[in-house]
């Protein structure tokens, strides 16, 4: 967890399968968010053994519950408890972030999904109320279709951005940097400084 001075918000990362808190991609995005005065929490939602089980990897409800526990942690930590919270999800973590956001209510102010599977959020999509940004690579054709379907089911402020020439992992030159800057802009727009925090319901 990194909390910059004069932070305006805190972003919890929900990693997808094959990724984790030490991922260079996640660290690069977190660095750009830090430049925007955003705190970040990078945490693995599954243990090493659980991550080897494909059923666990796609257990969106389990991932969402653990993301809510992370929300509880951020709200209970002195350095971050005054900061409004957002989620940054990737792959299956995108679906988990939306389910958790639907259950968290006004405890979560914004969601960004990178190459995510928001379709896996199912019926929870209709319950999401916070502004949601879906970012997809222009070469990730199947995921583009899934994101468009999910976008149509959201009832909140929402936007989908396709990064031209980018694949699923945004490994092309400058692609991930564009993702990071899009995310930072979304979070800085929708996570204004707030002195009002809520008593956590996820203890």
| Domain encompassing residue 166 | 9-187
Mean model confidence pLDDT for the chain: 91
CATH number, domain with residue 152? 3.40.50.1820
Once rounded to an integer, what is the mean pLDDT over residues 71-82? Answer: 95
- How do residues 8-59 score in pLDDT, each as one tens digit? 999 999 987 656 676 788 899 999 999 999 999 999 999 888 888 888 888 9
The predicted pLDDT at position 20 comes to 67
The predicted pLDDT at position 74 comes to 97
pTM over 0.75: yes
Count of C-beta atoms within a 10 Å radius of residue 145: 12
* Residue 41 belongs to some domain of the structure: yes
State how many domains the chain has.
1
* Residue 198 belongs to some domain of the structure: no
CA-based nearest residue to 135, from 104, 91, 101: 91
Instruction: List the alpha helices (DSSP H) in the chain.
Output: 24-35, 48-51, 54-57, 60-76, 92-104, 141-153, 175-190
* Residue 89 belongs to some domain of the structure: yes
- How do residues 166-178 score in pLDDT, each as one tens digit? 999 899 999 999 9
The predicted pLDDT at position 199 comes to 32
* Residue 199 belongs to some domain of the structure: no
* Residue 106 belongs to some domain of the structure: yes
* Residue 103 belongs to some domain of the structure: yes
* Residue 2 belongs to some domain of the structure: no
Beta-carbon contacts of residue 147 (< 8 Å; ≥ 6 apart): 113, 116, 118, 119, 134, 136, 160
* Residue 195 belongs to some domain of the structure: no
Once rounded to an integer, what is the mean pLDDT over residues 113-142? Answer: 97
In this model, does residue 141 exceed pLDDT 50? Answer: yes
């Amino acid at each position: 967890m990194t909390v910059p001075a004069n932070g305006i918000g805190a972003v919890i990362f929900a990693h997808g399968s094959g990724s984790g808190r030490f991922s260079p991609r996640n660290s690069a995005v977190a660095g750009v968010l830090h430049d925007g005065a955003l705190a970040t929490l990078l945490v693995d939602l599954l243990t090493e053994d659980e991550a080897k089980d494909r059923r666990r990897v796609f257990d969106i409800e389990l991932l969402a519950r653990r993301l809510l526990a992370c929300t509880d942690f951020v709200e209970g930590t002195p350095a971050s408890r005054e900061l409004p919270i957002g989620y940054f999800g990737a792959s299956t973590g995108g679906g988990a972030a939306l389910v958790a956001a639907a259950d968290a209510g006004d405890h979560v102010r914004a969601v960004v999904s990178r190459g995510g599977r928001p379709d896996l959020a199912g019926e929870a999509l209709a319950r999401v109320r916070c502004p949601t940004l879906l970012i997809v690579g222009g070469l990730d054709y199947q995921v583009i279709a899934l994101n468009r379907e999910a976008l149509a089911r959201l009832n909140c402020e929402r936007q989908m951005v396709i990064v031209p020439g980018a694949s699923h992992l945004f490994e092309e030159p400058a692609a991930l940097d564009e993702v990071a800057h899009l995310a930072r802009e979304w979070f800085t727009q929708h996570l204004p400084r707030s002195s009002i925090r809520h008593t956590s319901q996820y203890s």
